[in-house]
């Protein structure tokens, strides 16, 4: 990368495709090196390197499969997301070997006619811990859809329910919001832990087999639970029990938040309230689809109930509590802003808010939303790159690329990002402030 030794394709090739070809050389080199190392390891010890790693860390894997270990792992994952950092990307690398080896061990035990007893598996994380995404938000999103009296909450739930069913809950996390929302702090951390504990109780007490099969993480959780547990009768009982558990974990907190929202809405005219709810739902849908056209950015950012300007990021990537200053927005004409997150969903929230506000001010501002990792070819076309909070850990690497290309970059805190994505005017001034630094 430092010497730009890569496979070059014509400019007409889309960036995400050309990036795949650019990755071929380092990927191939990495595979070749570790293949050679594995051959030497096999000759020396009689087992592959992966098996050697598993044997060394087996005591840790066993400890992690207990009630305390499970609580620490999945409580931390939710806690990271609550403060706006992508929890799985932080926690999962430390346990990925256990997730795979335990699933394999469960399947081997089942084939041998024994009970599959391991809890810490990839499928358990996908479908039990992250039922509807981090925080086990599937049931809560359904509650927003069908039980909320608040029009805004119903709009958020209906705009989010389809992606949440497929474990893509970033629009819901930032739209509800769940991130940095003190009302939901306790159940957001507790629900995933309670879910995995319930699975352990079913396995330890009722002799149910643990997860034996793996499915794509986007499989709807109820289907993933039934199929991942091998269609055993207790799997259907467990599914009903875990749905009921999530309902109980979230219900009281949901009622508190619904009451708060209803009190806010009681002070707003009916027509304005309906318009704001519709706008927010439309904006969330557009953000999830990654659209930033004039049609798709219908005024959802203006539907905010969170007031005030957001804090500005410093040029070093840290954030400041200094309010963003209003400047001459016309200087943004011809500029471009690229927003990056983990998967390309959350980044659309801010990109859409910027696009809408720029259109209202008659500003020719180019906006883009993408997942971190697909951005290198796109960066030269933009003047500023903004990292969403869950991708902020990549800032140092991004800064090196941005400096080399002569463009600006910054990162956002969770609350700051929420405010900016809901206030297009503040988002424009945030961009203006960053470009001026």
Task: Tell me the domains of the chain and their CATH numbers.
Answer: 66-259 (no CATH), 301-436 (3.40.50.2300)
How does pLDDT run across 97-108, given as a tens digit for each residue? 889 889 999 999
Instruction: Look at residue 41 in the predicted model and tell me its pLDDT.
Output: 94
How does pLDDT run across 266-316, given as a tens digit for each residue? 877 665 666 666 666 665 555 554 433 323 333 333 333 333 333 333 333
Q: Which of 42, 80, 62 is nearest to 119 (CA)?
A: 62
* Average pLDDT over the chain, rounded to an integer: 83
Q: Is 199 left (phi over 0), alpha (psi -120 to 50) or beta?
A: alpha
User: Distance of CA 132 to CAs 21, 281, 307, Å?
Assistant: 33, 19, 29
**384 - beta bridge partners?**
337, 408
Q: Is 323 left (phi over 0), alpha (psi -120 to 50) or beta?
A: beta
Mutual angle of helices 138-146 and 233-265, in 10-degree steps = 50
Q: Which of 141, 145, 165, 341 is catalytic?
A: 341
Instruction: Look at residue 295 in the predicted model and tell me its pLDDT.
Output: 31
Are 118 and 97 contacting, i.e. CB atoms less than 8 angstroms apart?
no
pLDDT per residue rounded down to tens, the chain (437 residues): 677 778 877 776 666 677 778 888 889 999 999 999 999 999 999 999 888 887 887 777 777 888 999 999 999 999 988 987 788 888 888 888 889 889 999 999 999 999 999 999 999 999 999 999 999 999 999 999 999 999 989 988 998 898 899 988 887 888 888 988 999 999 999 999 999 999 999 999 999 999 999 999 989 999 999 999 999 999 999 999 999 999 999 999 999 999 999 988 887 766 566 666 666 666 555 555 443 332 333 333 333 333 333 333 333 343 433 344 555 788 888 999 999 987 666 787 788 889 888 998 899 999 988 888 878 878 888 999 999 887 887 888 899 989 988 999 998 876 678 778 878 888 999 999 998 88
Residues comprising the chain, all counted: 437
What is the separation of C-alpha 57 from the centre of its chain, rounded to a whole number of angstroms?
Answer: 28
Instruction: Look at residue 281 in the predicted model and tell me its pLDDT.
Output: 62
Instruction: Look at residue 301 in the predicted model and tell me its pLDDT.
Output: 33
Residue 105: its H or E element? helix 87-111
Q: Which of 51, 194, 42 is nearest to 128 (CA)?
A: 194
Instruction: Look at residue 5 in the predicted model and tell me its pLDDT.
Output: 79
Residue 400: phi, psi to the nearest 5? -60, -45
DSSP state of 127: I
Q: Which of 267, 264, 276, 300 is nearest to 174 (CA)?
A: 300
Q: How far apart are CA 56 and CA 53, in angstroms?
A: 5
Residue 257: phi, psi to the nearest 5? -70, -40
Check if 341 is active-site.
Answer: yes
Q: Which residues contact 349 (CB under 8 A, 6 or more apart)?
A: 171, 174, 175, 283, 284, 287, 301, 417, 421
Q: Which of 334, 337, 121 is nearest to 210 (CA)?
A: 121
Other beta carbons less than 10 A from residue 325's beta carbon: 12
Q: How far apart are CA 375 and CA 157, in angstroms?
A: 30
DSSP state of 125: I
Are 156 and 144 contacting, i.e. CB atoms less than 8 angstroms apart?
yes
Q: Which of 198, 183, 190 is nearest to 243 (CA)?
A: 198
Instruction: Look at residue 344 in the predicted model and tell me its pLDDT.
Output: 65
Structure tokens at 362: 């008659």
How does pLDDT run across 309-326, given as a tens digit for each residue? 333 333 334 343 334 455
Percent above pLDDT 70 for the chain: 84
Instruction: Look at residue 10 in the predicted model and tell me its pLDDT.
Output: 78
For the whole model, what pTM was predicted? 0.69
Instruction: Look at residue 70 in the predicted model and tell me its pLDDT.
Output: 93
Q: How far apart are CA 68 and CA 171, in angstroms?
A: 31
């Amino acid at each position: 990368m430092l010497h730009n030794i890569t496979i070059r394709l014509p400019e007409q090739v889309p960036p995400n495709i050309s990036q795949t070809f650019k990755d071929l050389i380092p990927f191939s080199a990495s595979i070749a090196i570790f293949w050679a190392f594995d051959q030497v390891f096999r000759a020396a010890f009689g087992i592959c390197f992966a098996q050697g790693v598993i044997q060394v860390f087996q005591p840790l894997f066993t400890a992690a499969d207990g009630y305390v270990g499970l609580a620490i792992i999945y409580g931390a994952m939710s806690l990271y997301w609550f403060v706006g950092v992508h929890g799985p990307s932080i926690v999962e690398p430390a346990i990925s070997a256990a997730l795979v080896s335990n699933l394999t061990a469960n399947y081997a035990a089942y084939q041998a006619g024994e009970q599959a007893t391991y809890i810490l598996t990839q499928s358990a994380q996908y479908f039990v811990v992250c039922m509807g995404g981090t925080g086990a938000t599937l049931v809560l999103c359904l509650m927003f859809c069908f039980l909320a009296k608040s029009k805004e909450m119903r709009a958020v739930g209906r705009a989010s329910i389809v992606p949440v069913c497929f474990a893509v809950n970033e629009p819901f996390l930032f739209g509800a919001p769940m991130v940095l929302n003190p009302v939901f702090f306790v159940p957001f951390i507790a629900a995933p832990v309670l879910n995995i504990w319930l699975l352990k109780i079913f396995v330890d007490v009722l002799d149910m087999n643990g997860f034996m099969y793996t499915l794509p993480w986007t499989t709807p959780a109820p289907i993933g639970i039934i199929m991942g547990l091998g269609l055993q009768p207790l799997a259907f009982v467990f599914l009903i029990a875990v749905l009921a558990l999530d309902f109980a974990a979230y219900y009281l907190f949901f009622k508190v938040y619904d009451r708060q929202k209803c009190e806010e809405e009681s002070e707003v005219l009916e027509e304005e309230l309906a318009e704001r709810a519709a706008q927010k739902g439309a904006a969330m849908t557009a953000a999830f689809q990654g659209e930033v056209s004039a049609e798709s950015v219908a005024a959802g950012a203006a539907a905010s109930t969170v007031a005030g300007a957001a804090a500005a990021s410093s040029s070093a990537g840290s954030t400041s509590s200094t309010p963003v200053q209003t400047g001459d927005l016309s200087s943004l004409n011809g500029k471009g802003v690229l927003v990056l997150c983990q998967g390309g969903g959350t980044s659309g929230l801010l990109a859409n808010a910027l696009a809408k506000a720029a259109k209202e001010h008659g500003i020719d501002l180019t906006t883009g939303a993408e997942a971190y990792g697909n951005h290198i070819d796109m960066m030269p076309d933009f003047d500023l790159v903004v990292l969403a909070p869950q991708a902020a850990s990549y800032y140092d690497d991004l800064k090196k690329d941005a400096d080399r290309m002569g463009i600006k970059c910054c990162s956002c805190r969770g609350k700051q990002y929420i405010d900016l994505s809901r206030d297009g005017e503040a988002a424009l001034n945030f961009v203006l402030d960053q470009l001026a630094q």
